[in-house]
Amino acid sequence: TLKEYLSHEQDMLRLRIMIWRTLATDTFDIALPVNQSFDVWATIIRGKFQTVYRDIIERVKSSGAMGMFAGADAASFFKQLPKDFFQPAEDYIQTPYVHYIGTLFGNVKVYEVPAGICKNLTTENIQFSSMDVLCYVRDENPGKAGFVTGDAVPAIPFQHPTTPALVNRTTLWGSAINDMHPRNGADYFTRVTLTMAKKGGLNFISGDTIDAGDSE
């Protein structure tokens, strides 16, 4: 529908800006080590992301809602975590658009960025792979948020007069604010790149054991 298309376009505009303006980066190898249980490894992964969010909170001197935009493969990995770690959204349905998939560690909202969108972002020279995760913290006070968004003039349809060639056109007119907060907005974000390069570890995508020199 037109409403869904407009919502998707707004989401893409905001996501492009957030990824492009993010400065803080990190990496983490999620391959399951040899002779380690999945539950124990999931606990270590939770500790890693808790550290990421702690660092954001310390940078901005503020706290609030936490969330992330996860590339397709990263989101698939989160969906495999035990229910104690990841709670799927009720009546979840996969879609080709950026969408909410559930809650990680009880308080982190997770939005999936499908593979097609990750590929489109890369063609636009905006580096965000299927294994990337954009973590953010958002204060309830708009003055302490990394990204400022809102409609100045809500989009309204204007139907043009029918042309002599009997062509009908409709234009959507509106104005909105979508930009990083001018006061250290980038500090509210960290991009974490997940890898799978640990020798002997389990590749969560293929299910194979990782040999020396292999990596994802």
Contacts of 155 (CB under 8 A, 6+ apart): 6, 172, 173, 174, 176
Express each pLDDT in 92-107 by its tens digit: 999 999 999 999 999 9
Q: Is 68 inside a domain boundary?
A: yes
Cα–Cα distance, 115 to 73 (Å, whole number): 8
How high does pLDDT run on average in the chain? Answer: 87
pLDDT at 142: 66
pLDDT at 182: 74
pLDDT at 103: 96
Q: Is 203 inside a domain boundary?
A: no
pLDDT at 200: 84
pLDDT at 6: 74
pLDDT at 169: 82
Radius of gyration of the chain (CA): 20
Q: Is 131 inside a domain boundary?
A: yes
DSSP state of 172: E
Higher confidence at residue 144 or residue 107?
107
Q: Is 31 inside a domain boundary?
A: yes
Burial 125-156 (b: 16+ CB within 10 A, else e): eeebbbbbbbbbbbbeeeebbbbeeeeeeeee
Q: Which domain holds residue 122?
A: 2-148+183-195
For residue 172, the tally of other CB atoms under 10 A from its CB is 10
pLDDT at 3: 67
Q: Is 70 inside a domain boundary?
A: yes
CA distances from 213 to 92, 197, 202, 209 (A): 37, 8, 14, 12
Q: What's the average model confidence in pLDDT over 106-114?
A: 95
Q: Is the pLDDT of residue 2 over 70?
A: no
Q: Is 210 inside a domain boundary?
A: no
Q: Is 215 inside a domain boundary?
A: no
Q: Is 6 inside a domain boundary?
A: yes
Number of structural domains, the chain? 1
Q: Is the pLDDT of residue 190 over 90?
A: yes
Question: Within the chain, where are the H helices?
Answer: 2-21, 38-60, 72-80, 115-123
pLDDT at 1: 63
pLDDT at 145: 76
Alpha-carbon torsion angle 202, 206, 211, 216, nearest 10: -100
pLDDT at 216: 56
Q: What's the average model confidence in pLDDT over 109-137?
A: 94
pLDDT at 160: 84
Structure tokens at 211: 């040999």
Higher confidence at residue 159 or residue 132?
132
For residue 40, the tally of other CB atoms under 10 A from its CB is 11
pLDDT at 109: 97
Enumerate the β-bridge partners of residue 192. 26, 133
